Structure 1
Amino acid sequence: MLRRLSFIALMMALVVVTLGALTRLLDAGLGCPDWPGCYGQLIPPQHHPETTTAIDSHKAWMEMTHRYIAGLLGLLILVLTFCVEKSNSVATHTRWLCRGILMLVIAQALFGMWTVTMQLLPQIVTLHLLGGMALLSLLLLLFLQLSKTTPVIVAPQGRKLSIIVLLFLITQITLGGWTSSHYAGLACPDFPTCHGKWLPALDLQQAFNLSDIQTTNYEGGILSSDARVTIHVVHRLFALLVVFSIMLLAVRLWGYTLLRKQLLVILFLTLIQVSLGISNVLLLLPLSLALLHNTGAALLLLSLIHLIFRLQPKPQSLWQQPHHNLEMDRVI
């Protein structure tokens, strides 16, 4: 039952992350300017309660749907944590993982509130996105720990490389969130150049000034054109590093036959992500492709974490010793 509950929570978290991206892409993050209600009500009203002015009900409902489903996910994780604590067959580290997930849910609720009350401050929006990705990742780890997963013994360098690739991918997701929160997705309307230039005018200082916090509405973005171009270009360039590192990891681990299907999935998702990124620029950021780009990043992250979970470093004493339960011999 625990395994099933963890899987349901994982799928629901993916839905919540996707709805969060949809809310952001529809500029519905401030569809309800207060929290946790909407204009002081549980259900979005048709008109402003004080001025009787019509409100954008579509954006309000989008925001509240995201909140309500996130709330249901929080309740499910609370139940899951309770069941894990009561179970006698769950390892101690799994219990602590579940407690950590519950704490992260609480933190995400706070980030969701601050996203609204601080009027889409990019630092908060990006942290909220990363929190969603972290929640997805931890729920996957919980599901894997409650499942029977066949480990694969690899050389220590292979696992180290996979962790480096994971760090690169997390950085790229962060840059993607920074690009989205600053509305810089179309700062470069062409590809592979930017405004017809290989090296456009950049403003690194303004683009990545984390201490710049203003009491203003950030919807639509407030940075200069050069700063947005800088964010967009850095996101593109770092994508090249991520793609190269993933290809290097695939080459490094291809000899382990039990890993080939996972490696193919990771390579396929990488190809899809690159294609979606380019298409988003050339097609002027259509909603469907932008949403798929966000979900694709989540799936790529989960696939890489699943791969790393299966990798077991080969102890020095096992280099010359066969093992019958775990695959350790590479195909030459």
Structure 2
Amino acid sequence: MHKRFKFFGVITALFVLLVLIQGALVSKTGSGEGCGDTWPLCFGEVVPLNPTMETIIEYSHRIVSGLAGLLVIILAFWAWKQLKHIREARFLAFLSVFMIILQGLMGAGAVVFGQQPLVMALHFGFSALSLSSVVLLIILSFEDSNKISRPVAPKNSKGLRKYVLGVLLYCYAVIYTGAFVKHTDSTLACPGFPTCNGKWIPDAFWTVAPQYFHRIFGTIMLISLLILAIWIFRKFPLSRTIKWLSVISVLLVVGQFSSGITIVLSLNQYLEVGMTHAVLVSLLFTCLAYMTMILFRKPTK
């Protein structure tokens, strides 16, 4: 059931993930102005002649983003019709379209009106929402295909639901602190780890504040997910799905934390590490979004 929808959904999710990776590449290589200040044209041309590497990176990002946007719109309309009997489907379909369009408009605005750090941070945050909404739509189609059992809805507690929702929202805030660090060129503002410039509270504090606070936010995120995993394994040992999601979340946040440390200690010399750092936090948010969705369902008996 939903065989074609699932196949199309996976392709769409891969395109959305590629857009996110390309966006990180554009930021890491400083290619945001690779097509000048014209959009959708590139230096006023449909296809740029004799492009530099920055132009190739920015231009390919625009093409893939456009294709991803088209795929998301098709997937959303398809889900609206085929999964209309599922409570979460229509909201996720609307969210996926809204976020991919808003993401594109903000990207275009950054090209035409200049790249403001806050705007670019929002742009990355919307990319994470776009990816998660598409992935959750695909998950719903797989759940709906399984007619033997009901959708995943493990027994839980009100306290657990509130905690997971809080962690999800906090994770989204961490995404913004990281994006703000990147777009304010604060990545190397705090050499060394765990101290900053050899001190726990560095001199000229406000010049390193974005990086300093991002470290604190990231550490709290790691601790929060470790607490969540311990809570789930001790109090809800029979809920296999949330147990696995909690383990995956811990693995993702550890990878995220480790890649962040590597960026600082290597002086941001490795492009692939920085891109991995951006991708892992988006996958972490998607994982937490799925956990939140199933915990807020009415538990199966």
The residue that corresponds to 2:177 in the other structure is 175
The residue that corresponds to 1:141 in the other structure is 136
How far has the Cα of 1:99 moved from its partner?
Answer: 2.8
The separation in 1 between residues aligned to 2:81 and 2:252, in whole angstroms, is: 38
8 Å contact kept, 2:31–2:54: yes
**Normalized per residue, which structure has more helix?**
2
8 Å contact kept, 1:155–1:313: no
8 Å contact kept, 2:135–2:286: yes
- 1:280 matches 2:263: yes
Query: Structure 1 232/31 Cα, relative in aligned 2: closer, same or farther at 3 Å?
Result: same
The residue that corresponds to 2:215 in the other structure is 236
8 Å contact kept, 2:84–2:90: no
The separation in 2 between residues aligned to 1:141 and 1:290, in whole angstroms, is: 26
- 1:22 matches 2:25: yes
How far has the Cα of 1:89 moved from its partner?
Answer: 5.6
Query: Structure 1 92/244 Cα, relative in aligned 2: closer, same or farther at 3 Å?
Result: closer
The residue that corresponds to 1:267 in the other structure is 250
The separation in 2 between residues aligned to 1:143 and 1:44, in whole angstroms, is: 36
Query: Structure 1 197/93 Cα, relative in aligned 2: closer, same or farther at 3 Å?
Result: closer
Q: Structure 2-normalised TM-score?
A: 0.88
Q: Which amino acid aligns with 2:47?
A: I
The residue that corresponds to 1:161 in the other structure is 163
8 Å contact kept, 2:153–2:298: no
How far has the Cα of 1:118 moved from its partner?
Answer: 2.4
The residue that corresponds to 2:148 in the other structure is none
More displaced stretch, 91-100 vs 123-132: 91-100
- Which structure 2 residues correspond to residues 160-309 of structure 1 after superposition, within 5 A? 160-202=162-204, 226-227=206-207, 229-254=208-233, 255-257=236-238, 258=240, 259-285=242-268, 286-309=270-293
8 Å contact kept, 2:154–2:295: yes
The separation in 1 between residues aligned to 2:62 and 2:292, in whole angstroms, is: 32
Q: Structure 1-normalised TM-score?
A: 0.80
Secondary structure, aligned partner of 2:47:
coil
Q: 2:104 aligns with which of 103, 109, 133?
A: 109
Secondary structure, aligned partner of 2:155:
strand
More displaced stretch, 24-33 vs 144-153: 144-153
| Alignment RMSD | 2.0
How far has the Cα of 1:312 moved from its partner?
Answer: 4.3
Query: Structure 1 95/182 Cα, relative in aligned 2: closer, same or farther at 3 Å?
Result: same
The residue that corresponds to 1:125 in the other structure is 120
8 Å contact kept, 2:79–2:137: no
- 1:36 matches 2:19: no
Q: Deviations over 1:267-304 (max 9, x none)?
A: 11111111111111001112111111111111111121
The separation in 1 between residues aligned to 2:263 and 2:141, in whole angstroms, is: 38
Pick the structure with greater CA Rg.
1
How far has the Cα of 1:8 moved from its partner?
Answer: 2.1
Query: Structure 1 260/99 Cα, relative in aligned 2: closer, same or farther at 3 Å?
Result: closer
The separation in 2 between residues aligned to 1:173 and 1:200, in whole angstroms, is: 24
Identical aligned residues as a percent: 28
The residue that corresponds to 1:217 in the other structure is none
The residue that corresponds to 2:146 in the other structure is none
Q: Which amino acid aligns with 1:294?
A: A
The separation in 1 between residues aligned to 2:100 and 2:121, in whole angstroms, is: 16
More displaced stretch, 143-152 vs 263-272: 143-152
How far has the Cα of 1:102 moved from its partner?
Answer: 1.6
Secondary structure, aligned partner of 1:28:
coil
How far has the Cα of 1:92 moved from its partner?
Answer: 6.5
The separation in 1 between residues aligned to 2:219 and 2:99, in whole angstroms, is: 31
List runs of 5+ in structure 1 lacking aligned partners.
47-55, 204-225, 316-324, 327-332
8 Å contact kept, 1:39–1:45: no
8 Å contact kept, 1:101–1:139: yes
How far has the Cα of 1:97 moved from its partner?
Answer: 2.9
How far has the Cα of 1:70 moved from its partner?
Answer: 0.7
